[in-house]
Amino acid sequence: MAKYIGKRLIYMVITLALIATFTFFLMKVLPGSPVASADKLSPEQRAVVEARYGLNDPLPVQYFNYMFGLVQGDLGISINQFKGAEVTDVILSRMGPSAQIGFQGMVLGTVLGILLGMIAALRQNTWVDYTSTFVAIVGISIPSFVFASLLQYWFGLKWDLFPVALWKDGFMSSVLPSVALAMFPLATAARFIRTEMIEVLGSDYITLAKAKGASGSEIAFKHAFRNALIPLVTVLGPMAVSILTGSLVVEQIFAIPGIGEQFVKSIIVSDFSIIMGTTIFFSVFLILIILLVDILYGVIDPRIRLSGGKS
Amino acid sequence: MTQKIDKIPELPKGSFERITLDAHQAERITKPSVSFWQDAWYRIRKNKGALFSLILFGLIVIMAFLGPIISPYEPNAQTITHANLPPKIPVIENLGILDGVGTLGGQEVDLYEMKNVEVNYWFGTDGLGRDMFSRVWKGTQVSLFIAFVAAAIDMLIGVIYGGISGYFGGRVDDFMQRIVEILTGIPNLVVVILFILIMDPGILAIIIALTITGWTGMSRVVRGQVLKYKSQEFVLAARTLGASDSRIIWKHLMPNVLGVIIINTMFTIPSAIFFEAFLSFIGLGLQAPDASLGTLINDGYALIQFSPHILAFPAILLSLIMIAFNLIGDGLRDALDPKMKD
C-alpha cells in the first residue's frame, strides 16, 4: 500500500509540474498584454510596470521564479484585476462560497441519489423504478447550466421562493446553486446504487439471510445497502469533477463570488496570473480527490488489492 | 407445507407417443445461426428506450439539415423590427399555446398583431429579429458536427495508440502507458480551457481542445481488450499459420474490440456536445454570427426574463440530444456486451 501511494504521489508531482510548466508557457505565448490598459500608458510607464512584475526578465528566469514560488504556495501576483494582490489570497478569499455550494450540492445529490437508487432497486420494474431511472437519465443528460437557468427562472423569478442571484441572503442564496450542482451526483449515485443493489440482492448471502428469516428492511439496510454503498466511492471522482466544472457556469449564472466566477472573469480580461493560479489550484484539487478515492477504496474494500496482490 | 396430494387422475391413453432418438439428427441446427451483429440488433430492438432514442435522434439529424432549408428565413438575417417575437405556429396557435402572445409591460398581448407582423416565426425570433427556427437547427448542425468529428478523432487516436500499446506490450507498453497516466491526471476541464485560450476561437479550436487529451479513455479501453484477446488461442493459431501482425490486428483482434469501441464512442459524443455547449456558455466557444446550441443558450440566457422562448428551444433540443445519446449508449452497452448473451 505504501509503495502504491508513493508511486501515485510521484505521478501527481510530475503531472502538476507538467501542468504548471504548460500553463506558464501558454500564458507567455497568449495574445494580449497582461498590463491592462497598455495602450494608454507611455512607453516609459509601461516599462516601469513591466519591470515591477518581472515581465522583462529572460523567460527561464521568469519560469524558475514562478516554479520556485509555486513550491512555497505562492501563485504570483494579480496584475490587472486586483492591483498587485497575491493570487493565493484572491483564491482563498473566494473559496468560501464555492466550497459551500459545492459541498452542499455534493451531499444533497449523493444522499438523494442513494435513496432514489435504493427505492428503485427494492421496487425493481415497477413505476417507481422507471421514474427513478428516468430522473437519473435526465440528471446525467441535462447540462448544469440549463438546469441552473431553469431553476433561476422558475424558483427565483416566477415563484420568488429564493433569491434570483447574488450572495447576500446567506444560506438562502446557496439553495438554488447547490440544487443545480446536485443534479449530476444525484443521477450518478442513483444509477450506481440501483445496479449495485440489484446485484447484491441476487447474491447467495441475501438468500441465506432470507432463509434465516430476516425481515425485509433488515435485509435491505443491514445486508444489501452496506455492500452496495462501498463501490459508490469510485464515482466520487467524476462527481467532484462535475461539481467543479458546473461551478464555473453555476456561479456565473447566480453571480456568486466564488472561484469559478473569478476564473471565467479572468479569462475574459486575460489576467494571466489568476488563470494560472486557478488552473493549478483546480488541478491539485481534482488530482488529490482522485488519489484519495483510490486509496479509500482500497482501504474500505479488502477484496481490492492494489498493484498486484500485495499491499 | 404438508398439503395432501390428491390422487393423480388417470392419464388418457394416446396422449403420449413414443419417439425414437435419431443419432443423425442430434447435430442438426434447428435455429438459424445469428451473427454477433444480428444478435445485437435484436437486443437493441427489444430495448424500447434505446430504439425510441434512435428514432428521435434520427429525426433531429434530419431536421438539423432540413430545418434551415424549409424555413423561409436565413439563420443570420436580421430584421430588427421583428425582434423578440414569441413563437407562433399556424395550426397549434388555436390551442392557446405558441400563438404569438407574449408579455409586454406586465400585460399579455399578441406581439405579432402589435408589431404588425404578417408572417409566422415557428420558434419566435431573437433580440436581433433573427428566425430562431432556422438558427436552432443550424446550431444543432454545428454542435453535432463538432461532437462527431471530435469523437471520430478520439476514436482514431485512441484505437491506434491503445492497439499498439496493448499488442506490442513490454517496454513499448510501459512507456506509452506512463504517458497516458500523466495525461489522464490532468483534469479535462483545465486542458480544454487552456487550449481554447491559445487558439483562435472557432469550430477547429473547439475540436482540437476536445481531442487533445480526450483520446486517452478510448486508448485505455482498447489496450485492455487487446491485452485480453491477444493471449488467447485463436490468435496463437493465426500466428502459427503465419499470419502477419497487421492481419492479426485487423482480422482477428479488431472485430472483438469493435464492441467496446462503439460503446465508448457513443459516450464520447454526448460529452463532446456538453463541453462545446459549456465552452460557448462561458464565452469561449464559437464567435458571432456562428451559432451552436451552446451559444444560442448563452444568448437566450441573457434574455430569459422577457423572452424565455429564446432559451427554451435550444435548451430543450440540447437536452433531448443528450438524453437520446445516453439512452442509445446504455442500450448498445447492454446489446454488445457478450456477457449478457442469453
Residue A14 has what pLDDT?
A: 85
Chain A within 8 Å of B311 (Cβ-Cβ)?
Answer: yes
Q: Quick check: helix, strand or coil at residue A86?
A: strand
Q: Residue B322 and residue A141: Cβ atoms within 8 Å?
A: yes
Whether omega before B289 lies within 30 degrees of 0, making that bond cis, reads yes
Which residue carries 443570420 as its cell? Answer: B76
* pLDDT(A210) > 60: yes
Contacts by residues B186-189 (CB-CB < 8 Å, ≥ 24 positions apart): B186/A15, B186/A18, B186/A19, B186/A283, B186/B213, B187/A241, B187/A244, B187/A282, B187/A283, B187/A286, B187/A287, B188/A241, B188/B213, B188/B214, B188/B275, B189/A241, B189/A244, B189/A245, B189/A248, B189/A282
Residue A306 has what pLDDT?
A: 47
Residue A283 has what pLDDT?
A: 83
Chain A within 8 Å of B315 (Cβ-Cβ)?
Answer: yes
Chain A within 8 Å of B182 (Cβ-Cβ)?
Answer: yes
Rounded Cα–Cα distance for residues B206 and B276 (Å): 7
Identify the weakest region by mean pLDDT among A133-137, A252-256, A280-284, B120-124.
B120-124
pLDDT, tens digit, for every residue of A82-114? 666 777 777 888 888 888 888 888 899 889 988
- What helix, strand, coil percent values describe chain A, rounded to 5? 75, 0, 25
Residue B153 has what pLDDT?
A: 94
More confident residue, A256 or B8: A256
More confident residue, B115 or A210: A210
Residue B88, beta-bridge partner list: B99
Q: Residue B282 and residue A286: Cβ atoms within 8 Å?
A: no
Mean pLDDT in consecutive groups of 10 residues from the start of chain B, 342 residues: 61 77 73 77 82 89 82 70 68 63 64 66 70 83 90 92 87 85 77 79 85 87 86 88 86 84 87 86 77 82 75 86 87 72 42
Q: How far is B17 from chain A (nearest CA, A)?
A: 41
Q: What region does A166 belong to: left with phi over 0, alpha with psi -120 to 50, or beta?
A: left
ipTM of this predicted complex? 0.77
Chain-centre distance for alpha carbon B193: 23
Q: Give the type of residue at B129.
A: G
Residue B106 has what pLDDT?
A: 61
Residue A310 has what pLDDT?
A: 37
Q: How far is B323 from chain A (nearest CA, A)?
A: 5
Residue B341 has what pLDDT?
A: 43
Task: Kindly list the residues from chain A whose CB atom is less than 8 angstroms away from the CB atom of residue B319.
Answer: 138, 141-143, 146
Q: Comparing C-alpha atoms, which of B197, B166, B168, B201 is closest to residue B180?
A: B166
3-state secondary structure chain B: CCCCCCCCCCCCCCCCCCCCCCHHHCCCCCCCCCCHHHHHHHHHHHCHHHHHHHHHHHHHHHHHHHHHHHCCCCCCCCCHHHCCCCCECCCHHHHCCCECEEEECCEEEEHHHHCCCCCCCCCCECCCCCEHHHHHHHHHHHHHHHHHHHHHHHHHHHHHHHHHHHHHCHHHHHHHHHHHHHHHHCCHHHHHHHHHHHCCCCHHHHHHHHHCCCHHHHHHHHHHHHHHHHCCHHHHHHHHCCCCHHHHHHHHHHHHHHHHHHHHHHHHHHHHHHHHHHHHHCCCCCCCCCCCHHHHHHHHHHCCCCCHHHHHHHHHHHHHHHHHHHHHHHHHHHHHCHHHCC
Interface test with B, best of A28, A146, A285 (most B CBs within 10 A): A146
Task: Kindly list the residues from chain B whose CB atom is less than 8 angstroms away from the CB atom of residue A157.
Answer: 304-305
Residue A304 has what pLDDT?
A: 55
pLDDT (mean) for A268-292: 81
Q: Comparing C-alpha atoms, which of B220, B218, B213 is closest to residue B165?
A: B220
Q: How far is B245 from chain A (nearest CA, A)?
A: 29
Task: Kindly list the residues from chain B whose CB atom is less than 8 angstroms away from the CB atom of residue A145.
Answer: 277-278, 281, 297, 301
Q: How far is A244 from chain B (nearest CA, A)?
A: 9
Taking CB atoms and an 8 Å cut-off, how many pairs form between chains A and B?
99
Interface test with A, best of B180, B182, B208, B328 (most A CBs within 10 A): B182
Assess contact for A140 and A212: CB atoms under 8 A: no
Task: Kindly list the residues from chain B whose CB atom is less than 8 angstroms away from the CB atom of residue A241.
Answer: 187-189
Q: Residue B311 and residue A29: Cβ atoms within 8 Å?
A: no
For chain A, list the strands marked E by DSSP: none
* pLDDT(A35) > 60: no
Number of DSSP helices (H) and strands (E) in chain A, helices first: 14, 0
Q: At A222, list the grid cell.
A: 443491514
Residue B271 has what pLDDT?
A: 86
Residue A295 has what pLDDT?
A: 80
Cα three-residue angle B264-B269-B271, rounded to 5 degrees? 95
Taking CA–CA distances from B188, the nearest residue in chain A reads A241
For the purposes of burial, counting CB atoms within 10 Å of the CB of B160, is it exposed (0-12), middle (13-18) or buried (19 or more)? middle
Identify the weakest region by mean pLDDT among A57-66, A124-133, A141-150, B325-334.
A57-66
Q: Give the type of residue at B148.
A: F
Residue B7 has what pLDDT?
A: 66
Inter-CA distances, A144 with A180, A189, A250, A277, A302, Å = 6, 16, 7, 25, 36
* pLDDT(A33) > 60: no
pLDDT (mean) for A129-146: 84
Rounded Cα–Cα distance for residues B334 and B322 (Å): 18
Residues 254-283 of A with CB under 8 A from B: 264, 267-268, 275, 279, 282-283
pLDDT (mean) for A241-259: 82
Q: Quick check: helix, strand or coil at residue A1?
A: coil
Q: How far is B189 from chain A (nearest CA, A)?
A: 7
* pLDDT(A279) > 50: yes
Q: What is the mean pLDDT of chain A?
A: 78
* pLDDT(A294) > 60: yes
Please, which residues have CB within 8 angstroms of residue B8's CB and are 6 or more apart in sequence?
Answer: none
Please, which residues have CB within 8 angstroms of residue A74's CB and are 6 or more apart in sequence?
Answer: A86, A88
Residue B108 has what pLDDT?
A: 66
Residue B148 has what pLDDT?
A: 92
